[in-house]
Structure 1
């Protein structure tokens, strides 16, 4: 989520205020805790848990969630629907602050269902606008407009001035994102006018901030600064460091737009300090990027390189498999269903052709048999020599027909095997794109910075400043080392992809099993998420560091690992969708991948907590062309090929499963192979 989108959360902040979610009293938490310990009445405990959650909401989200969830349990037991919906709303808002968007949307939708049943249009409007704000993280303007449309009719029917103010503010933000700045200014000005009429500082501050953002986007930096400075006075009185860090970043950006670099640097650094205090990672990320851009304008390339490195280091840490921030949305299934229908149609066409070919072959063979029989009886009445010649000719024709059929079958088998390999390559494509993006960004940016540093070094040499030129040369050398490191990283990813795609020549090499397993786990995870952005799973790994390298064909074993992990993701995904359809949202999809050394064997264990495999299916699992997936979702060759590959390496592959609970595949490979 960009800083321009974060500033729009000021409108969302107002919605929370309209629920009474912010407490400014410094001793409030202590007082509330004492009251909570001394009361036993359900309604009072719900209220106190809510107030404690609100108190910690912008400073310690984990504590806030603890108190909100405690309130949920009490509201459920006391069957208080309204308070339960309000708590779900607060949990959704808190997850939104943490950027855990799937959890945020899930809780908002729980609140929506209850508010609809209660006919509570006022709170329903706030929740619709809250969901729309979450889609700013994915820059999905159409989704934002869709949820604002749900709220519009209810807002205009109502008589709540603050809610109408929030609605116009939000509508102006959407026009700003669409770069229709005139319309954005019209609606934001309406919001500001209403805010001033009702004399609500939060409404005024939000409208001023968003007007400043729109004028900055329109290239009118002076006008933007006038709105920002007016908003700054309001938010300084509110003493909220999170929103102040965002506002200071926008002020710094406006100063940089005007080439007022001293003022720009000062406000960027102030934003950095406030963001560090509240742990706002996305604000830190945007400040690093903006500072690098500002220093580039001033040709201060060493400073640019410093902040670029911080930017990419933080970005890389935020987007790994173990630290995935679950940045995903609830999307329509239309595209996926359409692709499934197309695949099913293709599969039906293929099956029809196979049936037709089979019928042709049977008719052909029957025709040959009938013709041979008739010919045999006809020739029998002829001379014996003619009979023998005819029989010989028939045998030759049958032999040729059988050889042709056998050749066709071998060709079809080769095509199916290659099709399975290409299918597994497709699983890797999205994961590889994610993995290769960061090193390519490093190479591009540090190449550009190094080129500018060389120009600066030449200038210093012409001026006779040898010491400064040496210092710049050191910076260039460091940049080149970074380029070399990340270039090799990208090269290794590409080589791995090429190895996977080419036909194996059966050449074995010493391979680090831990590294190979970890690489295919990451690629499989990102590949599955590329097909379904709503998919998330807990990944557990435990790699035995004492496991030495073993002699294997890495691309073949990689295909086996990829196939097992992809099947595990499919299993937990299907179970989660089934349970959600039944109204159960407590399931946590989990896939674990472990390696260990056991006497003379290396073991790779892939386990999931999906639906498991029935005993009747388990017996057929390694048979060619057998699959439990719907038509078009699997070839039925993945596990069969995996079994053959492991057997060719002198190993074994075993399955341990319990229906409705888990499935575990265990690969055993000898540590020493021929």
Structure 2
């Protein structure tokens, strides 16, 4: 009997270990899918969406991997500048977040919400989530694990301050972001650094420092080329073309823009294409190349119309978010009002009961005193 129990025990242990090993291998595969898709998210965003869907499907009941899958899909739609779908999938991740115990994942999603609202130009909401993420980062014990998240946090603040304050303030945060990302010593951060350096170039352009602007655009293109991030390289080339055009080097600007157009053909980024067509039409106009001017001018107008349709959807989404926020605030205020009313009602009832008891007690005392007086008077009457 003991032998049978021992065999059964060992079989259970082996079965348990085998199950754990199976799940560990499955999750390792999902990690590989996520890492591979994240690396090529700017090159092949559609493939990244498919990878994210695969992760969500194969994650099963594992909440953390389902969140990671939705986050990957959201990032892919952001890379395509389809911010409505990006937000939709991010909200799916947010709905599951309270069921996760992974603090680093919570930081990641909260940071992403800040980034998403920045992209939707809802800046107050973006800062709100960035502040929450920064607080979570400050509380996280393993500081070597949060350089990327802190780098993203600083960088997005820089993007917002560029729009709302000044490039001088923005550059401080952009440099902080780059410094934190470099501490991560991770090849996957190169695309993020390329984006930040591109934005530094735009800041220097706004400050009329063409030399530093061109240096940053060229550095951004070099890093993007290294990681095969075609859309990022195209943006950087577009920035360089802007400097060339301002300096009257129109032929160099046209060459840079044509390179950018070739790179962007696989990405289908409407904002990028619009800027490239606009730059090409302006430079062809400056060189009196009328056929090319007319062709690119028409492509610019067509792309602009497509962007307006997409922006209308994004504005509607922003308004929906604002309405939902106001509705939530009204509900919260109503709830507080009803709580206050309930408390006041209890206080009022308590006060009424208190005075009722006091009055009743006093009346009882008065009645007792009257009875005592009557008894005394009766006694005196008998004595007389």
Same topology, TM > 0.5: yes
Q: Is the 8 A contact 1:42 1:74 kept in 2?
A: no
Aligned length: 296
Aligned-partner Cα distance in 1 for 2:90–2:261: 31
Deviations for 1:622-670, whole angstroms, at most 9, x for unmatched residues?
xxxxxxxxxxxxxxxxxxxxxxxxxxxxxxxxxxxxxxxxxxxxxxxxx
Q: 2:257 aligns with which of 268, 276, 293?
A: 268
Distance 1:299 1:189 in 2: 41
Summarize the alignment of residues 366-385 of structure 1 with structure 2, pairs less than 5 Å apart: none
Aligned to 1:256: 245
> Which residue is equivalent to 1:32?
none
Shift of 1:45: 4.2
Q: Which residue of 2 aligns with 1:217?
A: 206
Q: Report the Cα offset of residue 242 of structure 1.
A: 2.2
Match of 1:107 among 74, 89, 92: 89
Q: Which residue of structure 2 aligns with residue 87 of structure 1?
A: 69
Deviation at 1:260, TM superposition (A): 2.4
- Pair 296,130 (structure 1): closer, same or farther in 2 beyond 3 Å: farther
Is the 1:46–1:71 contact (alpha carbons within 8 Å) kept by the matching residues of 2?
A: no
CA RMSD of aligned residues (A): 3.3
1:71 corresponds to: 55
**Residues 532-566 of structure 1, C-alpha deviation per residue, up to 9 Å, x if partnerless?**
xxxxxxxxxxxxxxxxxxxxxxxxxxxxxxxxxxx
- Larger fraction in strand: 1
Structure 1: give runs of 5+ residues left out of the alignment.
1-39, 339-674
Q: In 2, are the aligned partners of 1:49 and 1:67 still within 8 Å (CA)?
A: no
Partner of 2:270: 281
Confirm or deny that 1:332 pairs with 2:313. Answer: no
Displacement of 1:268 in angstroms is: 0.9
Runs of 4+ with deviation above 6 angstroms: 334-338
Distance 2:251 2:177 in 1: 33
285, 299, 307: which is aligned to 1:310?
Answer: 299
Give the 3-state SS of the residue equivalent to 1:262 in structure 2: helix
Post-superposition shift, 1:276? 0.7
Matches within 5 A, 1:180-219: 180-197=166-183, 199=185, 202=190, 204-219=193-208
Measured against aligned partners, the alpha-carbon deviations of 1:416-468 in whole angstroms (never above 9, x if no partner) come to xxxxxxxxxxxxxxxxxxxxxxxxxxxxxxxxxxxxxxxxxxxxxxxxxxxxx
Query: Could you say what secondary structure the match of 1:243 adopts?
Result: helix
Q: Partners of 1:60 and 1:331 in 2: how far apart?
A: 29
Mapped partners of 1:204, 1:62: distance in 2: 22
Residue 303 of structure 1, CA deviation: 3.8
Please list, as runs of the form range in 1=range in 2, the aligned pairs for 1:17-96 lying within 5 A after superposition: 41=22, 44-45=25-26, 47-49=28-30, 51-52=32-33, 54-55=36-37, 57-76=41-60, 79-96=61-78
Cross-structure match for 1:513: none
Matched residues in 2 for 1:167 and 1:117: separation? 24
Q: Larger relative contact order (C-alpha < 8 A, sep ≥ 6)? A: 2
Distance 2:186 2:47 in 1: 29
CA distance in 2: counterparts of 1:200 and 1:51, whole angstroms: 15
Structure 1 residue 232 corresponds to structure 2 residue 221: yes
Structure with bigger helix share is 2
1:374 counterpart residue number:
none
Aligned-partner Cα distance in 2 for 1:71–1:276: 28
Residue 87 of structure 1 and its aligned partner are, at CA, apart by: 1.2
**Structure 2 counterpart of 1:141, from 123, 145, 150:** 123
**1:337, 1:163 → 2: CA distance?**
31
1:164 corresponds to 2:150? yes
Aligned counterparts of 1:337 and 1:205: Cα–Cα separation in 2: 39
TM-score when normalising by structure 2: 0.66
Show the counterpart of 2:159: 173
Say if 2:283 is the partner of 1:294: yes
- Going from structure 1 to structure 2, the CA distance change for 1:145 and 1:294 (only over 3 Å counts) comes to farther
Distance 2:43 2:148 in 1: 25
- Structure 2: distance between partners of 1:207 and 1:184: 11
The structure-2 alpha-carbon separation of the partners of 1:117 and 1:135, relative to structure 1 and needing over 3 Å to count, comes to same
* Residue pair 1:50, 1:67 contacting (<8 A) in 2 also: no
| Aligned residue in 1 for 2:350 | none
